[in-house]
Structure 1
Amino acid sequence: MIEIGLNTPGHNGRVALVTGAARGIGLGIAAWLICEGWQVVLSDLDRQRGAKAAKALGDNAWFITMDVADESQVSAGVSEVLGQFGRLDALVCNAAIANPHSQTLESLSLAQWNRVLAVNLNGPMLLAKHCAPYLRAHNGAIVNLTSTRARQSEPDTEAYAASKGGLVALTHALAISLGPEIRVNAVSPGWIDARDPSQRRAEPLSDADHAQHPTGRVGTVEDVAAMVAWLLSRQAAFVTGQEFVVDGGMTRKMIYT
C-alpha cells in the first residue's frame, strides 16, 4: 500500500475513509470533507491517480490502495488506517464498477455478474464488517453510494441494477444491526457530471440535457458531496436507514414518448 499525506488528524479530529476516491464523485466527497475539517483517507485501485489526488488535496488527505472486493485487502487497509490515525469516525462506500451497461442477458457471463456484485455489493458489506468496531467506538456513520438505477433501468443493466438495489437493502439492514451506535444511510445519485474539468470543457452537455431535469440542470459532484457530508454530520444524528435520492427530480418526472 502507498500512503500520501501527514499522520495528524484534521482540525476536528475526525477521520473518514472514502473508497473509490481517485476521481469523480469519490474525489469530490473527499475534497468536501477536507474543507469541513476532516482527515480523509482516500482508497482506490488506481494507485498512481489516487496518490496524485491525495497530494493535491493537501496535508489532511492520505491514500491507500484497496480492492474492496478482496477481504484481505479490506482488513489490511482498515488496520492501516487505525495504525496511522488511531480512530475511524466515518465510512463512505463509493467504490464501484460504474458502467451500468453490460452484455445482453443471453451473453452475460456468471463471472461478469459476480465481479460487479463483488465490488458493488460485497465491498460495502466487507467494509462495514471490518470498520464497525472502530466506528462504534466514536458513534460513527456509514454512507453507501447507490444509484437511481436501483429503482429504474435501461436495457442490459442487470448486474449493475441488482448490485445497487441490493446496496439499498443492505443499507437499512446495517442500520438496524449496527444502531444505535452507528448510523447507516444511502445516497442515490442520478445523472451527475463527474467528468474531469477538461472533459467538460471539451464536450459540454447540451441545453436539452439540463432542461429535462426539473431543477433545470444536470447534477454535480458537489451536489452529492454536500448530501454525504450532511449525513455524516451531527445535524443528521436522528437519521438512519434511509435512502436519499440526488437526481434533480428526474425519478419523479413522468415521461411518455
Structure 2
Amino acid sequence: MTGFEGKTVVLTGAAGGIGRDLARAYAGRGAAVLLTDLSGEAGEALARELNEAGGSASFFPADLAQPEAAGLIMEAAVRTFGRIDILINNAGFGIWKPPLELSVDEWDAVLNVNLRGTFLCSREAAKVMKRQAQGGAIVNIASTRAAQSEPNSEAYAASKGGIVAITHALALSLGADRIRVNAISPGWIDNGKFGELRPEDHAQHPAGRVGRTADIARACFYLTDPDNDFVTGINLTVDGGMTRKMIYEE
C-alpha cells in the first residue's frame, strides 16, 4: 500500500465520526486534506490538529443542502492545494420517523444532502480531475442500509441505495477520463465508544467484533490507491459479515 504524498483529498462530512478519522488517516499518509462540513468549531479544530501534527489541512465550511456548495468546495481545494486527486463523499444524515409521518421537506432534506450532494460533489470534482493527467478517484460512503433496513428509515435507505446506483453509473461515465468511482457500505461502525459495547454486540458479527473507523479508512486507502486502477464501479461492503448472516428469531 503506497502513501499519498503529493495527493489532495477532498473530504465531505469531515467534522465527526467516520469523516474525522478518515481525515486523520489520509493526513497521516502524507496527503493534503481539504475538510468540509457545516460551519462550526469542530472542523476548524480538526484542521488545526492535523496541521500541528505536521500535516497539511484546511477547513472550508459548506452546507450541501445548497446546490452551489459543491462547486465552491472544489474551488477552495484548488485554490488552497492546486489540485484534487481524491474525493470522499462522506457527508450524510438521517431522519428516523414513521413513513406516514415523514414530511416531504424532511424527505427532501435527507435526499438533497446525501444523494444530490454526492452527485454534485462528484461532478464538480470530476471537472478538475479531468484536466489532470492522472485523473482521480472518488469514493462514495453508502451503507448496508442500501440493502437491508430497520423500521422508519425510508429517506436514509433511499439515499444510500441511490448512492450505490449512482456509483456504478458515474464509474462508466467518467472512466474515459481516468476517474475511478467506487462505494463503501459500512455496517455497524463504532465512533468512539468501543469499550462500552456489550459482548453480544461484538459476538453477533461473524468477524467477532463491531467495526472501527480504521476499517473504513483502510478500505478507502485500497480504493484510492493509484495502483488499483482496475477497480472501479464496485460497492465494497465492510460489515464484519453481517449482511451474509441468516438471522432467525427463536
Query: What's the TM-score, normalizing by structure 2?
Result: 0.93
Tell me, yes or no, if structure 1 residue 89 matches structure 2 residue 85: yes
Whole-Å separation in 2 of the counterparts to 1:77 and 1:240: 24
Q: Specify which of 18, 43, 66 is matched with residue 25 of structure 1.
A: 18
Deviation string 1:143-164 (CA, Å, 9 cap, x unpaired) is 0000000000111110000000
Q: Is 2:181 the partner of 1:189?
A: no
Contact map agreement 2:32 2:81 (CA 8 A) in 1: no
Deviations 1:159-181 (A, max 9, x none): 00000000000000000000031
Unaligned runs of 5+ in 2: none
| Deviation, structure 1 residue 56 | 0.9
| 1:129-168 alignment, distance < 5 Å | 129-136=123-130, 137=132, 138-168=134-164
> Are 1:218 and 1:248, in contact at CA under 8 Å, matched by a contact in 2?
yes
Supply the AA of the counterpart residue of 2:146: A
Instruction: Classify the secondary structure of the residue corresponding to 2:36.
Output: strand
1:55-76 Cα offsets, whole Å, 9 max, x none, are: 1112412111011231222212
User: For the residues of structure 1 that align with 2:245 and 2:234, how far apart are their CA atoms?
Assistant: 21
Question: After superposition, what is the alpha-carbon deviation per residue over 1:212-231, rounded to whole angstroms, capped at 9, x for unaligned?
Answer: 00010000000001101111
Where does 1:149-228 land on structure 2 (aligned, <5 Å)? Answer: 149-180=145-176, 181-195=178-192, 199-200=193-194, 204-228=196-220
Alpha-carbon distance in 1 for matches of 2:4, 2:91: 26
- Name the structure 2 match of 1:54: 47
Deviation at 1:200, TM superposition (A): 4.7
CA distance in 2, matches of 1:67, 1:162: 20
| Aligned AA (1:114) | D
Give every structure 1 segment of 4 or more consecutive aligned residues whose post-TM-superposition deviation is greater than 6 Å: none
2:4–2:26: 8 Å Cα contact kept in structure 1?
no
Cα distance in 2, alignment partners of residues 46 and 57 from structure 1: 18
CA distance in 1, matches of 2:126, 2:84: 9
Work out the percentage of aligned pairs sharing the same amino acid: 46
Question: How far does the alpha carbon of each residue in 1:195-219 deviate from its partner, in whole angstroms, 9 at most, with x for none?
Answer: 3xxx555xx0000000000010000
How many residues of Structure 1 are paired with residues of Structure 2 in the alignment? 241
Letter of the 1:161 counterpart: A
Counterpart of 2:113, as a letter, is V
Normalised to the residue count of structure 1, the TM-score between the two structures is: 0.90
Residues 130 and 11 (structure 1), Cα distance of their counterparts in 2 relative to 1, 3 Å cut: closer
Q: Work out whether 1:236 is the aligned partner of 2:232.
A: no
1:34 counterpart = 2:23: no
